[in-house]
Amino acid sequence: MTAPAGPRPAYQDITAGMPDYHGCNPTQALTRMPTPPTNPAAHPIARLTLRQYKSIERCDIELGPFTILAGRNGAGKSNIIDALAFVSDALRNTLEYALRKRGGITQVRRKSPSKPTVPAIGIQLRLPDGNTAKYAFRITTVKGPQFRVDQEECRITDASGRVLHEFLVRDRDVQRWTPPSARPALAEDRLYLVAVSGLPEFRPVYDTLTRMVFHNFNPEVMKRPQQPEPGPLLSHDGGNLASVIKHLAGTAPEKLERVLEYIREIGVPLKNIEHKQSGSLETLEVIQERGEEGRPASFDAIALSDGTIRALGILVSLVSLNAEGTRGPSLIGIEEPETALHPAAAGALMDALAEGSESTQLLITCHSPDLLDSSAVSPDMIRPVVLEEGRTRVGVLSQAKSDLLTKHLSTAGELLRLDQLQPDEAELRAREEAAGTLFEAFR
């Protein structure tokens, strides 16, 4: 629950200094920002900055059309994805809900032996109209499980860096407001971006952040008959798989056929997948090929292996991105898509993920060398994640390691097997030691 204001950290302009894609000075920036995609609406999340979030003390990474968080189990890869999921949860529901879902503020802020830490999240976005937005907020603990939003701000700039629209809220007080319309009232249990989401100036930012979806598929849930659910997009655990496949079969059968093509390439000889009604519940009926002489055999989803049902969920999610009547997700986050899948099928799955990233932004976690062996994996996709002295560190590949991949002298999977998939230490140290605001310019 929220609490009255108390002692707070020193003021920070938590969006100042963050390099714009159109205005980054290559003589000042430590590293060149990634080239903006040709379709910014399909790949809108440009940069993620975290402070004191779970195992992450400091993190600043650029996200491309397809970003792979690669590293050992327990390194903190899931915490990076969860930070984006936290923002989406807090905007769709309430900030208190997002915290309770994760065990409360004490489980979200990074543990420190000296003093309580102050978690903060910042995101840079590419908007459909070509403008850039920066959105950030910081949460301060007060007493025990109580919390308050210490600071929240959103800034939208054009290609030249000129500020078009902006708000800044500190300690429940709107201190900066540029739109000509009257500023909405603050709500105790919600971020201010929710209150201003009805205004055209800030609606694109709200829409982008609330349309992020995250999957951690649960095979047992996906196999069981479920109550019908409306909507063309898969849920977090994939439990509405039968509903989504029914929607695809009726509106875009060619997309469902594309799913079957990849399933066969993975090595599962499925001829068709059909929606099956069972009283008030629904499930899937799978028709499997039995060779030239044998008749096709049909069986329910419960008979599928965990690896097959997970792969099916991933593929369905990828093809249903822009389903009829929807704009689809702005970003899809997937936890370990290779789980329970035979190593020989990893290449086909990576090909499917790479194809899907052409139409929407993907962020996945991975600790499978077999998946990273794929020729579809390029150095710019990889963000190595390591855990050192209890702190999660994430960065880009060093130039030497990138050259190995570019020249086909090694694969990312081989580097992972040798425990050589490490972030570039020099750049990482410079980023972590940079002084100033949440979004440092890294000069």
Question: Any idea which fold 45-211+330-433 has?
Answer: Rossmann fold (3.40.50)
What is the model's pLDDT at position 437?
A: 54
- SS3 call for 176: strand
Tell me which residue of 405, 264, 240, 374 sits closest to 313, measured CA to CA.
Answer: 240
List pLDDT tens digits, range 144-166.
668 889 999 999 999 999 999 99
Q: Which of 53-62, 123-132, 283-292 is least confident? A: 283-292
What is the model's pLDDT at position 391?
A: 92
What is the model's pLDDT at position 322?
A: 56
- SS3 call for 427: helix
Residues 6+ apart with CB under 8 A from 406: 378, 379
List pLDDT tens digits, range 215-267.
999 999 999 999 998 878 889 999 999 999 999 999 889 999 999 999 999 88
Q: What are phi and psi of 362, to 5 degrees?
A: -120, 140
The average pLDDT across 318-335 equals 75
What is the model's pLDDT at position 40?
A: 64
Q: Are 244 and 190 in contact (CB under 8 A)?
A: no
Give yes or no for residue 337 having a pLDDT over 50: yes
The one-letter amino acid code at 94 reads T
Q: In the block, which residue shows the tokens 């209890």? A: 390
The average pLDDT across 181-204 equals 94
Mean pLDDT of the chain: 85
**Percentage of the chain lying above the pLDDT 90 cut:** 65
Residues 6+ apart with CB under 8 A from 96: 1, 2, 189
Whole-number Cα distances in Å, 366 to 75, 343, 362, 385: 11, 13, 13, 10
What is the model's pLDDT at position 188?
A: 81
Letter string b/e over residues 139-175, b meaning 16 or more CB atoms within 10 A of that residue's CB: bbbbeebebbbbbbbbbbbeeeeeeebbbbbbeeebe
Q: Are 324 and 251 in contact (CB under 8 A)?
A: yes
Q: Are 406 and 393 in contact (CB under 8 A)?
A: no
Give yes or no for residue 31 having a pLDDT over 50: no
Give yes or no for residue 403 having a pLDDT over 90: yes
The average pLDDT across 290-296 equals 67
Q: How confident is the model at residue 22 (pLDDT cuts 50, 70, 90)?
A: very low
d(CA 212, CA 167): 23
Tell me which residue of 248, 270, 252 sits closest to 261, measured CA to CA.
Answer: 270
Q: Are 268 and 344 in contact (CB under 8 A)?
A: no
Tell me which residue of 236, 271, 250 sits closest to 101, measured CA to CA.
Answer: 236
Give yes or no for residue 76 having a pLDDT over 70: yes
The average pLDDT across 80-101 equals 96
What is the model's pLDDT at position 442?
A: 26
CA angle 166, 169, 174 (to 5 degrees): 85
For 252-299, where are the alpha helices, taking DSSP H only?
253-266
Give yes or no for residue 392 having a pLDDT over 60: yes
Q: Which of 7-16, 268-277, 339-348 is least confident? A: 7-16
Give yes or no for residue 39 having a pLDDT over 60: yes
Q: How confident is the model at residue 85 (pLDDT cuts 50, 70, 90)?
A: very high
Beta strands per DSSP E along 218-269: none
Residue 2 bridge partners (DSSP): 147
Tell me which residue of 325, 240, 317 sits closest to 275, measured CA to CA.
Answer: 240
The average pLDDT across 300-320 equals 91
Question: pTM here?
Answer: 0.86
Higher pLDDT pick, 396 / 428 = 396
DSSP string, 383-421: EEEEEETTEEEE-PBPHHHHHHHHTTS--HHHHHHTT--
Domain(s) of CATH 3.40.50.300: residues in the chain: 45-211+330-433
Give yes or no for residue 33 having a pLDDT over 50: no
Q: What are phi and psi of 48, to 5 degrees?
A: -125, 130
Q: How confident is the model at residue 362 (pLDDT cuts 50, 70, 90)?
A: very high
Tell me which residue of 360, 389, 402 sits closest to 31, measured CA to CA.
Answer: 402
